[in-house]
């Protein structure tokens, strides 16, 4: 396992579209482990492969920090979304920056697990938000693109850091 460098605001890679994973092999599993470790080390609740410089459709999410394994999804796709909720959102690529974003508060996402098996994840509230946020990353879309105008704020120190994705 290893920590990887998190790409930050302004890095052009964050605007690129990630490619689907064709074969789920040990190299992919190693990348996922590194993403998980990098996310936790930065106190984030979600991370996408592009944020560590790899243009592959992979996301890792841990909204609870309850010791249970993180959600790891390869080639995730939102198949159903409903509801609407306003979230205070951050991103590991935008340290200390937060904004209000309106997203569905319930989603169903399909993808593959670390063994290449199809899985379906149901997410509500914060998990729904995190799934949408990370899947947006895979298409080069960032929370600042869809935030409510005028809500971007800079918050010093660790306040609200648990919202970083």
134 is catalytic: yes
Nearer to Ni ion among residue 97 and residue 165 (C-beta): 165
Segment interacting with Ni ion, rule: CB under 5 A, options 9-17, 83-91, 123-131, 154-162: 83-91
128 contributes a contact to Ni ion by CB under 5 A: no
Would you list the DSSP string of the chain? ----PPP-TT-GGGGSPPBPPS---HHHHHHHHHHHHHHHHTT-SEEEGGGGT--BSEEEE-SS-SSSPPEEEEEEEEEEEE--EEEEEEETTEEEEEEEEEE-SEEEEEEE-TTS-EEEEEEEHHHHHHHHHHHHHHTT--HHHHSPTT--EE--TTTTGGG--
> Least distance in Å: CB of 146 to Ni ion?
12
**Size of site (CB under 5 A) for Ni ion:** 2
Segment interacting with Ni ion, rule: CB under 5 A, options 10-18, 63-71, 90-98, 123-131: 90-98
91 contributes a contact to Ni ion by CB under 5 A: yes
> Least distance in Å: CB of 13 to Ni ion?
13
56 contributes a contact to Ni ion by CB under 5 A: no
Q: Which residues bind Ni ion (CB under 5 A)?
A: 91, 165
Would you name the residues annotated as active-site residues?
134
């Amino acid at each position: 396992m290893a920590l990887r460098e998190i790409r930050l605001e302004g890095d052009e890679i964050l605007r690129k579209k990630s490619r689907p994973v064709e074969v789920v092999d040990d190299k992919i599993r190693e990348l996922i482990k590194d993403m998980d470790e990098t996310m936790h080390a930065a106190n984030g609740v979600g991370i996408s492969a592009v944020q560590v410089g790899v243009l592959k459709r992979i996301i890792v999410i841990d909204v609870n920090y309850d010791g249970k394994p993180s959600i790891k999804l390869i080639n995730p796709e939102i198949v159903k979304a409903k509801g609407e909720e306003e979230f205070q959102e951050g991103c590991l690529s935008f340290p200390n920056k937060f904004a209000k974003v309106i997203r569905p508060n319930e989603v169903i996402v399909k993808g593959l697990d670390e063994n290449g098996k199809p899985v379906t994840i149901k997410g509500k509230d914060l998990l729904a938000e995190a799934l949408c946020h990370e899947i947006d990353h895979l298409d080069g879309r960032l929370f600042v693109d869809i935030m409510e105008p005028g809500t971007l704020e800079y918050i010093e120190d660790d306040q609200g850091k648990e919202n970083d994705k």
